[in-house]
Structure 1
Amino acid sequence: MDSDIKFIRQLFDVNQGLLKEIESYASDNFIPIVKPEVAKFLETIIKIKQPENILEIGTAIGYSSIVMLLAYENCKILTIEKDMDMAEMAKENFLKASLLDRVELIKGDALDVLPCLNRKYDLIFIDASKGHYKEFFDESLKVLKHNGVLICDNILYKGYVVNEVHVKHKRRTIVYRMRDFISYILNKTGISTSIIPIGDGLSISVKE
């Protein structure tokens, strides 16, 4: 890990209580959750945007949902998780955090769920299967409000997107897809997008 990234990560690694417990569980069980600096970024964006309705694609065990819900007490979140076991753990964590009444958790494939949504969202966070980011993005834009914010995590895919030298063959397809995705969102009309090189890479788009 680069020294500057390590330094920044240590600055933001200050969680206590339930969030720290979830971080430890995720680390021990190899469950991917957002990095501390990304969690802080999400918290800051939520405080600035103050969204009433948030859509999350990729709940995992509920860590990022809790971070966002704690950042603004008047927001609610609809979060989608394909893995049933993960979804059950997320539900337990929402209950422990006393946030269950502000969460709608849908268990299923986001590509099946997204076309069925009939509500508009102020902010959308995508952190799911990297091979389907373009499809997630396009479907999300349909339910994103004007001036809404759309954030995608892990777009640099462990650094492989910018450094192909050590990419194993089985990962090359995802790397190429993520490169295409980045080019796609940077050149797509109707949105304004920036790339933020924190965590495993973030994109943040605003619907114009």
Structure 2
Amino acid sequence: MIDSDIKFVRQLFDVKKGLLKDIENYANEKFIPIIKPEVARFLETIVKIKQPQNILEIGTAIGYSSIIMLKAYKNAKVLTIEKDIDMAEMAKINFIKASLIDRVELVKGDALEVLPCLSNKYDLIFIDASKGHYKEFFDESLRVLNDDGILICDNILYKGYVTNEVHVKHKRRTIVYRMRDFISYVLDRKDITTTIIPIGDGLSISVKEEKND
């Protein structure tokens, strides 16, 4: 989408007031990355369609996207992983304010260490964490994703750098190259069906194929 399209769509889904707006304002003031309004609406829509009982989120930040998903379906529960202790504590406060704390399991730790320890299965998984480790996150997530489950990754186009090599700064090139490799990796896999959606900072959405016994 061109900039005018993005601005128009983003304004359509902008939250005007309430806790989510407060969280959004705080995130903007403190330069904390959270999902864009159009991505929030997309995530909300997917949850309403899928109606997942169990959701796994990698990258809690301050709880914004977890709250979006939990509000979209009243029977959903979320296990969310956050490495930054301060942000995890802030997320906990926001879950309490939203009266959703009883439906959240917040794990403080490195997802690369936490994910291999998970044994429960999930209907929906949302990845929004360290871009340099998306492949590792994806592989471990796919292991615990139910058949016909949905796996969504945010920031796939990484600030537009993934599609525009000319303006990639040297310090960002490694992440950009890894993200390009990751996109090819998920699109080439035969056990999932994946598409790329150019909203927000780019999303990939994958559906795990049902195994035929």
Fold shared by both chains (TM-score > 0.5): yes
Residues 118-152 of structure 1 deviation map (CA, whole Å, 9 limit, x = unaligned): 10000000000000000000000000000000000
Matches of residues 43-58 of structure 1 in structure 2 within 5 Å? Answer: 43-58=44-59
Q: Residue 182 of structure 1 aligns with which residue?
A: 183
Residue 14 of structure 1 deviates from its aligned partner by: 2.8
Q: Residue 70 of structure 1 aligns with which residue?
A: 71
- Counterpart amino acid of residue 104 in structure 1: E
TM-score by length of 2: 0.97
TM-score by length of 1: 0.99
The gaps in structure 2 that reach 5 residues or longer are none
| Mapped partners of 2:99, 2:14: distance in 1 | 23
Give the 4+ runs in structure 1 shifted more than 4 A: none
| Mapped partners of 1:161, 1:32: distance in 2 | 18
Q: Residue 86 of structure 1 aligns with which residue?
A: 87
Residue 165 of structure 1 deviates from its aligned partner by: 1.3
- Counterpart amino acid of residue 14 in structure 1: V
| Mapped partners of 2:73, 2:57: distance in 1 | 15
Matches of residues 1-208 of structure 1 in structure 2 within 5 Å? Answer: 2-208=3-209
| Mapped partners of 1:7, 1:107: distance in 2 | 37
Q: Kindly tell me: are residues 145 and 20 of structure 1, through their superposed partners in 2, closer, same or farther at Cα, counting changes over 3 Å?
A: same
| Mapped partners of 2:197, 2:16: distance in 1 | 22
The gaps in structure 1 that reach 5 residues or longer are none
Q: How many residues align?
A: 208
| Mapped partners of 1:194, 1:157: distance in 2 | 16
Match of 1:31, SS state, is: coil
Residue 15 of structure 1 deviates from its aligned partner by: 4.1
| Aligned CA-pair RMSD | 0.7
Residues 155-186 of structure 1 deviation map (CA, whole Å, 9 limit, x = unaligned): 00000000111111000000000000000000
Residue 16 of structure 1 deviates from its aligned partner by: 1.9
